[in-house]
Amino acid sequence: MDLEELRRRALRVHDLYDELNLQEHGRVWTREEFMLGFMGDAGDLAKLILAQEGVRSDRPDSRAALEHELADCLWSVLILAHRYGIDLESAFVRTMEDLEKSISARLDR
């Protein structure tokens, strides 16, 4: 699956969440609420990474839980990019090019 296919799949789930939230709460999530959801997922991911490394024992350290949280975080990033009208593929390419140049210049010193 390429990035565009991932984006389309993420948007289908986003639309389902909108439908569910309208049904259950009478409104959809704002961009700010999506960001807060992402922060919660990132926190859960951090705890799972710590469990994987043996630093925490109060969280499940299963590979499935880690995969799930990584996928949740990717979903959130794809949705936030969509909600802010960002071409994530182009932004990623530009950012990686900038980082490669910056890091290479520092290594050449």
Query: What is the per-residue DSSP string for 2-71?
Result: -HHHHHHHHHHHHHHHHHHHHHHHSSPPPHHHHHHHHHHHHHHHHHHHHHHTTS--SS---HHHHHHHHH
pLDDT for position 12: 98
pLDDT for position 76: 97
pTM higher than 0.85: yes
Report domain extents, the chain: 3-107
Tens-place pLDDT, residues 15-61? 999 999 999 999 999 999 999 999 999 999 999 998 888 887 766 66
Residue 108 has pLDDT above 90, yes or no: yes
pLDDT for position 63: 85
pLDDT for position 60: 65
Rounded average pLDDT over 64-70: 93
The answer as to CATH 1.10.287.1080 being correct for domain 3-107 is yes
pLDDT for position 55: 86
pLDDT for position 51: 86
| 56: CB partners within 8 A, 6+ apart | 47, 50
Tens-place pLDDT, residues 70-101? 999 999 999 999 999 999 999 999 999 999 99
